[in-house]
A and B are shown apart, each in its own frame.
Chain A
Amino acid sequence: LAKTTQPISMDSYEGQEVNITCSHNNIATNDYITWYQQFPSQGPRFIIQGYKTKVTNEVASLFIPADRKSSTLSLPRVSLSDTAVYYCLVGDGGDKIIFGKGTRLHILP
């Protein structure tokens, strides 16, 4: 199972772009990179998934370099409601997926 490493916490201000980087040095060929968002007292919510290069949806962008040993979740123009814990997961879905501690993002006014 590919292990991931993320910053424990980050602070940012409303309107800023936030980038959260995840390291996954032993990612396997069949693995995808998926990010989840979790608000207090709620289950995690799928944000974005990618395999290589760049993926963008209405919520975020995911940048993956050619070697795929890291990935960066980019949240454009954050608001207070983006305060949450963000998890980076790596796997192909065919096995047990292990959540790390995630990155606690705190958005300041």
Chain B
Amino acid sequence: NAGVTQTPKFRILKIGQSMTLQCTQDMNHNYMYWYRQDPGMGLKLIYYSVGAGITDKGEVPNGYNVSRSTTEDFPLRLELAAPSQTSVYFCASSQGTGFSSYGYTFGSGTRLTVV
């Protein structure tokens, strides 16, 4: 059971370039999330999805886009990369609401540097 898989693990982008961070989960979880974590800081929610075809903004959505065409995949798109987007990006999934069902499973992260 792979859990949550993120690719790539590392990436260097030039200012103004675009890229897509991939996230796939094989647990049939309805809920998926994208967080970013700057050095020494906590996680900030970028976007989340409660099911295929449904997405919503988190705390810091500017400069990012997401889509959720399937239950398994939740890609994060960066358009016109900026140095402020240098961060570690984590994807997570959860079963949904209710006790013992909403514990998150996180991926191993994508370390992105924009130069």
A residues contacting B by CB (< 8 A) are 32, 34, 36, 41-46, 49, 51, 85, 87, 91-94, 96-102
CA–CA, A100 and B90, complex, Å: 15
Contacting pair B56 A92 (CB below 8 A): no
Kindly report which residue of chain B lies nearest to residue A85, judged by CB atoms.
B42
Q: Report the separation of the CA atoms of residues A100 and B59 in the bound assembly, to the nearest whole angstrom.
A: 12
Which of A42, A97, A101 is the one whose CB lies under 8 Å from B45?
A97
Q: How far is the CB of B13 from chain A (nearest CB, A)?
A: 19
The chain A residue sitting closest to B108, CB to CB, is A43
B100's contact among A36, A49, A87, A101, by CB below 8 Å, is which? A49
Question: Which DSSP category, helix, strand, loop or mixed, fits chain A's interface?
Answer: loop
List 16 additional contacts besides A94-B102, A97-B104, A99-B43; criterion CB under 8 Å: A41-B88, A42-B108, A43-B109, A44-B90, A44-B106, A46-B103, A46-B104, A49-B99, A49-B100, A51-B99, A93-B31, A94-B96, A99-B35, A99-B42, A99-B44, A99-B45
**Chain B minimum-CB-distance residue to A32:** B99
A96→B96 CA distance, assembly (Å) = 11
Cβ contact within 8 Å between A36 and B109: no
User: Are B42 and A102 in contact, with the CB atoms below 8 A?
Assistant: yes
Would A49 and B56 be within 8 Å (CB), given that A42-B108, A44-B43, A96-B45 are in contact? no
**A9, B66: Cα distance in complex, Å:** 34
Expressed in whole angstroms, the minimum distance between the Cβ of B88 and any Cβ of chain A is 8
- Looking at the assembled complex, report how far the CB atom of A109 sits from the nearest CB atom of chain B, in whole angstroms: 23
